[in-house]
Structure formats: structure tokens, C-alpha cells
Structure 1
Amino acid sequence: MNLLEEITQRGLLAIIRADSAERALRCMRTLIDAGVTAMEVSLTTPGGLGAITRARSQCPPAVLIGAGTVLTADQADAASAAGAGFIVTPGITPGARRAAATEVPLLCGALTPTEVIAALDLGATAVKVFPAGQHGPGYLRELRGPLPRAPLVAVGGIDRETAPQYLAAGAVAVGVGSPLLGPAGATDAPQAQDDLAKRAAAFLEAVEPRHAVGRDRRQETR
């Protein structure tokens, strides 16, 4: 799998943080039904590794499922064993180093130009610019000035309105957590899943002009 190509085609990476594995799985099913086909399950989710294993066995192969907030080498190994197709880290953690050493696709967190360069030198498939929302699309555009070939995924505080702005500034994709998930990861109320589906559709519409090719992947899940 060429993770960079796949993430770029989809344009939207859903970040799943939930109170339990069951709620994480429920959110993932809702997102897939809505057409979202790339997601990471944060290991801050209780039972997150189990959720990844179950999702990987239940979801269509075209759906990308990764593990997020990977801090340690043991977590990186466990995530790979659970079926995660890629690893996401908040920075150059021991988990990032283990993923790079074992050639597992890696989205490595960074913010400054020095950190972006270090992440790419480590072997990251793409660099997660975090927290992008604190600096705005203009910051991403400035980063691409000296680093025009750096594959950057904007993450943190990105909503439906700003998502297209980050893509226009040069991000290959945007990663979205709470502005997409809302309360769905913390409640069993049916309305929460209905609202999640609506937000997912809105985010997909926002990134669609730049990433129309992602429709092919979404069709494979139906």
C-alpha cells in the first residue's frame, strides 16, 4: 500500500477518540457508511487496539485503518499486530522510530521546519503538522516555501470551513477529530450517530473539489 497516495486521494483522515472500543467501532461504522474511508483510532481510547483488530476484520479492505497517539515502541509493535495499516504519532516518539525501523507507514507529528525535516529524515511517509489550527493555513503555506516536496497533513482544530483552506495551502490531506466526531465517541444516544453522519457528509463535500478521485475508494466500501 502506498499510504501517501491513498491518503492524498481521500483527503480526509478521521481521528477516532472514544470512551470505549464499542463506541469507537460504532463511530467507525457510521463514518464508513457516510463515505469516510481513512481513519485512525487513537490509543488513548480504552481498548483501542481491540477496536482496530475488530474493525480490520469487519471493514472492507479499501478502508484505511491506522493507530494514533503511538508513543512507545511497544505500542507501535502492538498496533501493527492488531492490524493497523499505519502509525500516527504526535512527534518523533520511540513509537515513531520503531515504525520507521520496521518500515510501517508512518505519519509523524511535527510543527517547526526543523521538526518536519527530522520527521522526513526518520523515514515518515508524511508529516502531521500539529496543532495546525493554532497557526492557520498561512503557516502551512509558509512551511511549503522551503519544503515544497514535503507531504504535509494538517491536523488539530480544523473544521469544515477551514479544511479546504488547508488543502489549498498545500496539505495533502486534513486530519479531523472532535470537529467531526463531536459527542459520538462519548454517548450511546442514537442522535449522536445521526449527527456524526451529517458532519461526515459535510466534511466530504468540503474536501471533494480537491479530491474527487477519492470517490472511487468510497464506492469500494459499498
Structure 2
Amino acid sequence: MDLLAALRSHRLLGIVRGGDADAALKTVLTLIEEGVTLVEVSLSGRDALDVIARARAALGPDAPLGAGTVLSADDARAAHRAGADFVVTPAVSDGITAARELGLPVLAGVMTPSDILAARRLGADAFKIFPAEQAGGPGYLRALRGPFPELPFVPVGGVDAVAAREYLARGAVAVGVGSPLIGDAADGGGLDELRTRAGEFLDVIREAAEDGR
């Protein structure tokens, strides 16, 4: 898949990390039904590889589906076998190199300019500012875009609807959202509430598009 094109098109990456594999699968499918069509399943969740494999079987071969929290080459290979077609890392790691060797695009976790340069050398397709809230929020994104104006940044970590608006206004190619979007759905919580939150975030994306951001 063309990860960068997908990020530019959808602008919202849903991050599913759950303690209940069945609930996590339902969360993935519900997000996609509601229009959050770019989703990653974190490998730190319970039976995450099985969730990815079951989601892939349900969605078919063409739906974008990622594996998150890829820490190592073994993680990247396992995600590929499960059916993920992109990977997301929390940091610069061997997982980037292994994923690229497998033909998988990578959203690489970075926090500093040195991280960004290292991830770019390894072939990352886009750069996940993580943890964005602790790094300095939208102001830090603006600072990074000074020396790296053309690079695609995706803030992740503490991104609620208000922060999402600010990041997109400051030039983020997309935002990655975990608990402010997922809530407790991936642990067995209500899917109606998940649908409501998905609608709120999709409204932010639509507003950004209307404003030309």
C-alpha cells in the first residue's frame, strides 16, 4: 500500500489496543464501518496478531490495516504474516529495516531531530511524533517543521479532538488517536459510544479539509 497517500487522504489513524481480543476486533470493524478507514492494531494488546489476522479475513485484501508497537525485526515479520500491510513503531528500531525488507511501509516513531534523520535513513515513509503531548504539543510540531518542512509528521499521544484541530492547522499530515477515540471499546465497552467519538473526530477532519488544511 501507499501509506503516505493513505495518511494524506484519510488524515486520521485509529489506534486499537485492547485487553479483549474479540472486543478489539469488533472495535476495528466498527471504526471502519463508521469511516475511520485507516486503523492500526497495537501488538501490545491481547492476542494482537490474531486480531490482525481475523480483521484481515473479515475486511479482505484491500483494506489498509496496520500493526502498531512494532519494536523489533521479529515483530515486523510476525505482523506481515498476520496480514498487516503497514507497521507503526514507537521509536527508531530494527523493526523499520525488517519491515522495509518485507515491502511494508513504515510510520516510524520519532521525538528528536536526530530520531527523524535516523528514521529517514532507514527508509521510513512518515514520522510519528511520539509522545506528542509530552514533547510539546502543536508548538513542537511547528518547531520541527522549520528544519523539516517537507516531511510528513503524524502526532500521536494525548491527541483529543481539540489537539487534533491544532495539529492539522500546524501542518500535520494526519493525527494518530488511541484512547480519546477508542475509549474502553477494545476492552469490551460500548460500541455506540465509539461510534459517537468516531463521528466527532471525523468532523474535525472534514473541518480541516474545508479550511484547506
Q: Which residue of structure 2 aligns with residue 220 of structure 1?
A: none
Q: Which residue of structure 2 aligns with residue 67 of structure 1?
A: 67
Q: Which residue of structure 1 aligns with residue 44 of structure 2?
A: 44
What do the CA deviations read for 1:90-115 (whole angstroms, capped 9, x no partner)?
11112122113333100110011111
Question: Runs of at least 4 residues of structure 1 off by over 2 A?
Answer: 60-63, 100-103, 209-212
Q: Which residue of structure 2 aligns with residue 54 of structure 1?
A: 54
What do the CA deviations read for 1:43-64 (whole angstroms, capped 9, x no partner)?
0111111111111111155531
* Aligned counterpart in structure 2 of residue 202 of structure 1, from 200, 203, 211: 200
The 8 Å contact of residues 8 and 211 in structure 1, kept in 2 or not, is answered as no
Task: Tell me the SS of whatever aligns to 1:19.
Answer: coil
Q: Which residue of structure 1 aligns with residue 88 of structure 2?
A: 88
Describe how 1:12-27 pairs up with structure 2 within 5 A: 12-27=12-27
Letter in 2 for 1:47: D
What do the CA deviations read for 1:140-195 (whole angstroms, capped 9, x no partner)?
011000101111111000001110110111110000001111111212x5xx2110
Q: Give unmatched runs, 5+ long, in structure 2.
A: none
Q: How many Å separate the matches in 2 of 1:123 and 1:75? A: 17
Task: Tell me the SS of whatever aligns to 2:44.
Answer: coil
Q: How many Å separate the matches in 2 of 1:17 and 1:211? A: 28
Q: Give unmatched runs, 5+ long, in structure 1.
A: 213-222
Letter in 2 for 1:79: A
Task: Tell me the SS of whatever aligns to 1:210.
Answer: helix
Q: Which residue of structure 1 aligns with residue 126 of structure 2?
A: 126
Letter in 1 for 2:132: A
Q: How many Å separate the matches in 2 of 1:127 and 1:115? A: 9
Q: Which residue of structure 1 aligns with residue 156 of structure 2?
A: 155
Cα deviation for residue 203 of structure 1 reads 0.3
Cα deviation for residue 211 of structure 1 reads 4.2
The 8 Å contact of residues 21 and 186 in structure 2, kept in 1 or not, is answered as no
Q: How many Å separate the matches in 2 of 1:152 and 1:117? A: 13
Q: Which residue of structure 1 aligns with residue 143 of structure 2?
A: 142
> What count of residue pairs does the alignment treat as equivalent?
209
